[in-house]
Structure 1
Amino acid sequence: MSQKISLLLLSAVAHAAVVPLSGAVLRYRAHASRSVLASYGLGFLRVLRRTYEFEGWEGLFKGVIPTFLGVLIFRGSLMLVKVHPTFPLMVMAAPQINLIESPFFILISSMIEVPAQIVLVRTTLTNYKIPWYNPILALRLLFSPSERQSPWIIYLTPGLMLSLFLQYAMQFFVIRLSFLLGSTIWNNWSLYETQFSSPSMFGLFVILGMLGISLAFLAYTVLLTPLKVICTRLAQQRNWITHEGDQFSEADEAEVYGLSVYSVEETVCIHDASEPYSGFIDCYHRIVEQEGWRALYRGWWYSIASQAVLLLLWMS
C-alpha cells in the first residue's frame, strides 16, 4: 500500500511539474483570435514567453494546485477500488465493459471531468491571483454567484458535457477496438507465422503491423485535439440564473476582496463574455469562421507527446 501511495504522489508531482507547458497549451487553445490572420500571430512559444514576461514563474505555475489535487483525488479514489494509481482507467475499463454498459461509464467519466475541467481552465486563464490558502474565496473567484448557489448548473454549460462525452467515447471505442484486434492477432500468432516462408519476412510483417498501430494511435490522438480546443473555450464560460444582482463578474469579486492582478497586459485574448458560445456546434462554426480550421488543431503535437509519455510511464 505504501508503494502505491508513493507512486500516487509521484504521479501528482509529475503532472504538476509540466503545468508550465500544459498551461501554455491551454492558453494557446483558449486564445480567441479576432481574425484568421491574427490566429497566426500567436503561437505556442510566444504564449509561453508572454506568460513568463507578464506573469513570471508564478503565472506559469498557476494551475499547479488544481492539477496536483485533481490527480490525488481522482487516482486516490481509484485506489480504493483496487486500481493501480498509474494504470490508465480507460485502458482497464474499455476491454471489460460491454457496449450496453459503455454509455453509462462514459457519462459518469464526463460528469466527473466537468468540474475538474472548469476549475483548471478558469484558474489558468484568470488574470487575478487566486488565494488558494482561502479555498472559499478561491471558489468565489472561479465560480459565478449562480454556480455557487446552484452548483448543478455547471453541467448545463452549453456544449461542455457533450465535448467531454465525445472525448471519452472516442477513447473508449478506439482502445476497445485496439484490444480486440490485438487479442485476435495474439490468439492466432502461430497461424500467421506459418504463412511466411522465412523468419525475415515474418519479422517485416510484425514491424509493419506495429508501425500501422502507431500511426493509427497518432491519428486518433490528433483527432481528439479539436474536441479539446472546443472544451477549453466552453469551460471558461460562466453560467448565470437571470435575476437582479446575479451578474456579479470575476472583476467585481476580485475588487471586493482586494485581489491583485498578475499583469495589466493580456497574455491571450479570451472570448468575449458578452457574446458567449451557445453550444458545441456554435463554438465549432465560430472558431472556423473567425479563426480558420487550423485553430481547432492548436497544440496537436502536445496531445501526441502527453499520450505517448503516459503510455511509456505506464509500461515502465
Structure 2
Amino acid sequence: MEEEVVVGGTPPVVILFLAMVVSLAIIVPLTGVLVRFRANYNPKSLQLDSEGGAAAHTGPIVNSYFQMFGRVYRIEGLLGLYKGLMPTAISTLIVSIIILLVVDTEQPRHGKYRAPETGVVGTLFYSFAMMIISLPTSILTYRAITTPHKLGYFDLMGSLRILLTPTERRRPWILYFTPGLMAAEMSHIAVIVLILGPLRRLLLPSMSRPVVSPSDISLWKLVIYLIVFCTTISVLTPLEVIATRLAIQRNHASAEYNSVAQEVDGDGEDTVEYSGAEEDVIGLRNERDPYLGLVDCAKRIVDEEGLTALYRAWWITLLGGLGSTFA
C-alpha cells in the first residue's frame, strides 16, 4: 500500500491553503493597482462640454503604475489595496478545484499553472472554457477594485447591489454579452495559444521538460522567440487595457439610464465610502456614453486619451509573459 508523502508532517491541503494565502496577500494589491491604472479615464486636457465649448479635464491624472500605487494607499489606505480580495479568493479556489478534479496529471508542475499539453486545438478549447468559467468573477473583481464604496467581505447581497445594475441582477447571463469583452478575452487567448504556444514548442522544446539546462537551449532560437514575443506585447497589452475598461462598464436596460435611474430594489441606497472619498482614486467614463465594442473601445481610447493609454503598464505584461515562458 502506498503511503501519502507529507512534507514535515503537514497535510498537503494545509500547505496548499497557506500557499494560496501568501499568494493572495502579494497578488491582490499589485493586481488592484494595475486594474485602477488601466481603468483610469484620463482624457486629453481639453474636452467639449454639452454646449460645444472647451472644458479642462478635472479628474485625476496618473502617469505611472507606482504613482497609482501611492495614490491608492494615500486615499484608501491598506484596506483599499485589498479591494477585490473576496472575489479573487473565490475565483482562485473554484479554478483550483476544477483543475484538481478535471486535469489529472502525474507530472509535477512548478510555478504558474499552464494549460495541459493537448495540442493547439485542445489547449484553445481548454483556455476558452476556463475563461468562460472565470469571466463573471473577473468582472466582479474589477468592479470591486474600482468602486469608491466599501464592500463588506461577507456581505454578498449588499456588494452585488453596488457592483451590478438591476438589469444585471435580474439577468446575470447578460455579463457574457458585455459589448466587446468576450472578443477581447478570446483574442488575447488566441494570440497566446495560436502564436506563442506553437512557436515556443517549435523553437524551445526543451522548456517543456521538468529540468532544463542552459545547454539544452539554442541561443539563436531563443533570440527569435523573444523578438516575436516582444512583438506580441504590442497586441496583448492593448487587449488587456480594453478588457479592463469593458469589464467595469455596467450593462443597463437602456444606455440613457444610469443605475440609480433604473432603481427598482434598493440599488441607490446609501453606502459607506473611504475617508478620502472627497477625492476619487480614479476617474471613470460616463456610463451614459458607453463603449460599443472592442474596436469602438480602442478607437475612443486613442481619440480621447492618446495611444499611450493602450500601453499602460506594458512592462507588467512583458514580465508576466516571460515568467510564464520560463516557469
TM-score clears 0.5: yes
Give the aligned partner of residue 82 of structure 2. 61
Give the aligned partner of residue 45 of structure 1. 66
Give the aligned partner of residue 115 of structure 1. 136
Gaps of 5+ in 1: 187-202
Paired letter, 1:293: L
Q: As a proportion of its length, which structure holds more helix? A: 1
Paired letter, 1:10: A
Pick closer, same or farther for the CA change 1:310–1:185 going to 2, 3 Å. closer
Deviations 1:142-176 (A, max 9, x none): 11111111111101100001001111111111213
Give the aligned partner of residue 260 of structure 1. 273
1:292 aligns with 2:306: yes
Moved more, 162-171 or 58-67: 58-67
Paired letter, 1:282: D
Which of 281, 294, 300 does residue 280 from structure 1 map onto? 294
Q: By how many angstroms is 1:140 displaced?
A: 1.8
Which of 30, 37, 47 does residue 28 from structure 1 map onto? 37
Q: By how many angstroms is 1:79 displaced?
A: 0.8
Give the aligned partner of residue 172 of structure 1. 193
Which of 165, 177, 186 does residue 156 from structure 1 map onto? 177
- The CA distance in 1 between the partners of 2:260 and 2:43, in whole Å, is 26
Higher relative contact order (CA 8 A, sep 6+): 1
Pick closer, same or farther for the CA change 1:91–1:177 going to 2, 3 Å. farther
- The answer to whether the Cα contact below 8 Å between 2:259 and 2:267 also exists between their aligned partners in 1 is no
Give the aligned partner of residue 225 of structure 1. 237
- The answer to whether the Cα contact below 8 Å between 1:222 and 1:304 also exists between their aligned partners in 2 is no
Matches within 5 A, 1:85-104: 90-92=114-116, 95-99=117-121, 104=125
Corresponding pairs, count: 294
Give the aligned partner of residue 194 of structure 1. none
Which of 235, 238, 246 does residue 250 from structure 2 map onto? 238
Pick closer, same or farther for the CA change 1:140–1:77 going to 2, 3 Å. same
- The CA distance in 1 between the partners of 2:93 and 2:296, in whole Å, is 35
- The answer to whether the Cα contact below 8 Å between 2:199 and 2:225 also exists between their aligned partners in 1 is no
- The CA distance in 2 between the partners of 1:185 and 1:230, in whole Å, is 31
- The CA distance in 2 between the partners of 1:212 and 1:98, in whole Å, is 21
Moved more, 283-292 or 1-10: 1-10
Identity over aligned pairs, percent: 29
Structure 2 SS opposite 1:307: helix
Deviations 1:213-268 (A, max 9, x none): 3343343345311000000000011112359x994379995752543345221111
Gaps of 5+ in 2: 5-10, 47-56, 209-214
Pick closer, same or farther for the CA change 1:31–1:119 going to 2, 3 Å. same
Deviations 1:13-72 (A, max 9, x none): 314413222211111111111217979753222211111111111111112222222222
- The CA distance in 2 between the partners of 1:175 and 1:4, in whole Å, is 31
Deviations 1:82-122 (A, max 9, x none): 25685655442xx41353x5654343233123212201110
Moved more, 131-140 or 157-166: 131-140
- The CA distance in 2 between the partners of 1:238 and 1:265, in whole Å, is 22
Moved more, 270-279 or 254-263: 254-263
**TM-score of the pair, normalised by structure 2:** 0.77
Give the aligned partner of residue 50 of structure 2. none
- The answer to whether the Cα contact below 8 Å between 1:16 and 1:67 also exists between their aligned partners in 2 is no
- The answer to whether the Cα contact below 8 Å between 2:260 and 2:267 also exists between their aligned partners in 1 is no
- The answer to whether the Cα contact below 8 Å between 1:79 and 1:85 also exists between their aligned partners in 2 is no
**TM-score of the pair, normalised by structure 1:** 0.80
- The CA distance in 1 between the partners of 2:142 and 2:316, in whole Å, is 17
